[in-house]
A and B are shown apart, each in its own frame.
Chain A
């Protein structure tokens, strides 16, 4: 409770200040900005702002649509109605937070509702930035809200400010056993700490609904159900402060990711692969004593109310190929369901997580490319959410690696001098670039690194990464595969073509060479014989044509061409046959080759004989039966010869 004494000191300091310098400060503000303000109605909610109940003093500010969940993330919603009581036009409103709170402030958002009265028109998000106004106490951090248009004298403006704080619930006691519930302490001020005077103000604190150990009764506190209200307070001077401490039970899973590395890998072949490495810790009260699995599973009273054993991820629709693993391997305790609008993944860590316990795991999933990648003005634009898809997690340090793009990118863009990869993120982040080597890469993929600490679900906004990409570079990966396979084939070709023998003059080597030559010659002879047979077939065909059409002339022409072709082939055959005849290596196949050539020659003669017989008969206009009788014997001989030639060719093939 050292904090409390510091608070008291702070209060004292502020009261001293307001009596001397601070009064001047207010005046100086009047002089400069003429904004000695304000009707300031404050409504602050811890955990759940469902504030219809408190709205009595502030008409026309609709808050009932904001829904929050009780968790370890503190969400404070301020509904301010600011009035300008000075004479000059004011364009900004200051919000003050003690430094102790400000350092835990993860996100701040100001909404300005344009609609008047009950009609709620579109709400505008106003820029809210840290400022350091002169002469203000250094214990306070100031945020400035820029109004969309200047506030005239007497004018009022209604603002909704949502501030999200992390690590603001202190566990007390700091160590609990497995059976205990978790008690936490929240500190705040009953009065809204403001640089302006406040006319009417209330504070509501919504608790998760468990036991309330104690709460500060002064000033004017009421506990109804699980809501504590302070106020309404009227006509408070600027920088009023009254510490409030609430000690209550909160067993919400205090999931804090010490580090989360999200890797978004784009493949233009149709996939956005997201890999998230979590380093998760239970940020609540530390556990003391042993852990009893028996108690945890069998006895519901000592189950360990403060622990959690499952986490829920809300993934984008059409997420596929989901995995959940850690260093050891796959973790099978996960459940997954989805419809057309969302995909939900529920994972269970390997053990229940108690206060102070850690676990680390990796989840990964693929998303369809066309949902997240767009083409804008010749550039590619990745549009994807920033934060973790996990429910209610605080991320101490989030690193997003938008692993975009291809090798081509750098080459195309850098000469132009523009930064080809650019990101637009709706809040400040640390940016850097890296190179990652992945499948089938040569120069590596450029990686844009975005780093942000203290991330809450409110940061789960869309951000954009722009880059240039040439579609031709898609062919890089297949080209690598193709060249890989081609090299394999080239290696085979080289192996087959190189002569690896050491002694080029040995007898066996020479014999081998000769044998190869003989083989080549035999192959050539076979080739030629086959061609001859093809010519024979053509002659046959011409005869058939003749019997059908009776066109003797074309049949004669066919014979002439066949004759010429065969002569050519025989001429080619002659040197090969002589080579084979004189080659000692070919002695064993020579008789067969000789026989083959002879038979073929015989066949040629028979062929021509039959051809001329048939043509003669046709010229003498003999009947079909007569012709058949005349060539019947020739036909038989030819068929026998053909059979023999085929057998010989087959035999040679086998050698």
Chain B
């Protein structure tokens, strides 16, 4: 029922002549457009490696800070910020790791 090639060519139209005629624009919105992943699937392994390395770096920084600074000099805000950055990196990194290994969440 839905063929891929016409919809593809339409999406090409969308890029080249976005507003050439209102009819065509209407047609573009009506036509079934393939839904793709927000990030190209081929990037997942590299992305996960990159983000996990970054995440582990921040984690290491966090724990070094925890271990070396004395109780009195430690600043809570700094700790929380490092933790937030590290967990964001680790979270996205592990998500892409799951996706790259085929566990599509």
- Nearest chain A CB to B41 CB, angstrom units: 5
Which residues of the partner chain A approach B33 to less than 8 Å between Cβ atoms?
374-376
- Tell which of B34, B88, B95 touches A374, judged by Cβ atoms closer than 8 Å: B34
The residue on B at minimum CB distance from A438 is: B105
Q: Are B103 and A439 in contact (CB under 8 A)?
A: yes
Say whether, besides A439-B103, A486-B84, A516 and B70 are in contact (CB < 8 Å): yes
Scan residues 437-475 of chain A and give those whose CB is less than 8 A from a CB of chain B: 438-440, 462, 464, 471, 474
Scan residues 259-293 of chain A and give those whose CB is less than 8 A from a CB of chain B: 265, 267-271, 273
Q: Are A485 and B99 in contact (CB under 8 A)?
A: no
Q: Are A485 and B91 in contact (CB under 8 A)?
A: yes
Q: Are B79 and A493 in contact (CB under 8 A)?
A: yes
A496→B72 CA distance, assembly (Å): 11
Scan residues 52-100 of chain B and give those whose CB is less than 8 A from a CB of chain A: 55, 62-63, 66, 69-74, 76, 79-80, 83-84, 86-88, 90-92, 94-95, 98-99
Most buried by A among B29, B35, B94: B35
- Tell which of B34, B73, B87 touches A373, judged by Cβ atoms closer than 8 Å: B34
Most buried by B among A269, A273, A484: A269
Q: Are A374 and B7 in contact (CB under 8 A)?
A: yes
Using C-beta atoms within 8 Å of the partner chain, give the interface range for chain A: 35 or more
Say whether, besides A370-B36, A481-B94, A485-B90, A496 and B83 are in contact (CB < 8 Å): no
Q: Does A346 contact B (CB under 8 A)?
A: no
- Tell which of A270, A381, A471 touches B99, judged by Cβ atoms closer than 8 Å: A270
Q: Are B95 and A496 in contact (CB under 8 A)?
A: no
Q: Are B66 and A270 in contact (CB under 8 A)?
A: no
Say whether, besides A462-B1, A464-B1, A489-B83, A519 and B70 are in contact (CB < 8 Å): yes
Scan residues 607-651 of chain A and give those whose CB is less than 8 A from a CB of chain B: none
Q: Does A111 contact B (CB under 8 A)?
A: no
Q: Are B95 and A370 in contact (CB under 8 A)?
A: no
- Tell which of B36, B76, B92, B104 touches A267, judged by Cβ atoms closer than 8 Å: B104
Q: Does A380 contact B (CB under 8 A)?
A: yes
Q: Does A482 contact B (CB under 8 A)?
A: yes
Total contacts A-B at CB 8 Å: 131
- Tell which of B29, B30, B35 touches A369, judged by Cβ atoms closer than 8 Å: B35
Scan residues 477-511 of chain A and give those whose CB is less than 8 A from a CB of chain B: 477-479, 481-486, 488-490, 492-493, 496-497
Q: Does B21 contact A (CB under 8 A)?
A: no
Q: Are B36 and A270 in contact (CB under 8 A)?
A: yes
Q: Does A383 contact B (CB under 8 A)?
A: yes
Interface string of B31-46 (1 = CB under 8 A from A): 0111111110100000
Which residues of the partner chain B approach A485 to less than 8 Å between Cβ atoms?
55, 86-87, 90-91, 94
Say whether, besides A496-B74, A516-B70, A489 and B87 are in contact (CB < 8 Å): yes
Say whether, besides A369-B37, A486-B87, A520-B70, A377 and B105 are in contact (CB < 8 Å): no
- Nearest chain B CB to A323 CB, angstrom units: 10
Which residues of the partner chain B approach A418 to less than 8 Å between Cβ atoms?
none
Q: Does A208 contact B (CB under 8 A)?
A: no
Q: Does A371 contact B (CB under 8 A)?
A: yes
Scan residues 368-412 of chain A and give those whose CB is less than 8 A from a CB of chain B: 368-371, 373-377, 380-381, 383
Which residues of the partner chain B approach A265 to less than 8 Å between Cβ atoms?
104
Q: Are B95 and A478 in contact (CB under 8 A)?
A: yes
Which residues of the partner chain A approach B102 to less than 8 Å between Cβ atoms?
321, 366
Say whether, besides A267-B104, A383-B1, A439-B98, A489 and B62 are in contact (CB < 8 Å): yes
- Nearest chain B CB to A35 CB, angstrom units: 35
Q: Does A523 contact B (CB under 8 A)?
A: yes
Interface string of A423-439 (1 = CB under 8 A from B): 00000000000000011
Which residues of the partner chain B approach A129 to less than 8 Å between Cβ atoms?
none
Q: Are B37 and A268 in contact (CB under 8 A)?
A: yes
Which residues of the partner chain B approach A540 to less than 8 Å between Cβ atoms?
none
- Nearest chain B CB to A363 CB, angstrom units: 15
A438→B62 CA distance, assembly (Å): 32
Scan residues 508-567 of chain A and give those whose CB is less than 8 A from a CB of chain B: 516-517, 519-520, 523-524
Q: Are A523 and B91 in contact (CB under 8 A)?
A: no
Q: Are B104 and A269 in contact (CB under 8 A)?
A: yes
Q: Are B73 and A478 in contact (CB under 8 A)?
A: no
The residue on A at minimum CB distance from B94 is: A481
- Nearest chain B CB to A408 CB, angstrom units: 14
Q: Are A517 and B72 in contact (CB under 8 A)?
A: yes
Which residues of the partner chain B approach A383 to less than 8 Å between Cβ atoms?
1-2, 32
A474→B84 CA distance, assembly (Å): 20
9 pairs from A and B in contact (CB 8 Å cutoff): A265-B104, A268-B37, A270-B36, A271-B41, A374-B7, A471-B38, A485-B90, A489-B87, A523-B73
17 additional contacts (CB under 8 A) given A481-B92, A486-B91 = A268-B37, A269-B99, A270-B37, A270-B99, A270-B104, A368-B41, A371-B34, A373-B34, A374-B34, A376-B32, A439-B103, A462-B2, A484-B91, A489-B86, A493-B76, A497-B74, A520-B73
Top 10 nearest A-B pairs (CB, nearest first) are: A270-B37, A482-B91, A489-B83, A267-B104, A485-B87, A374-B32, A481-B91, A520-B72, A370-B34, A486-B87
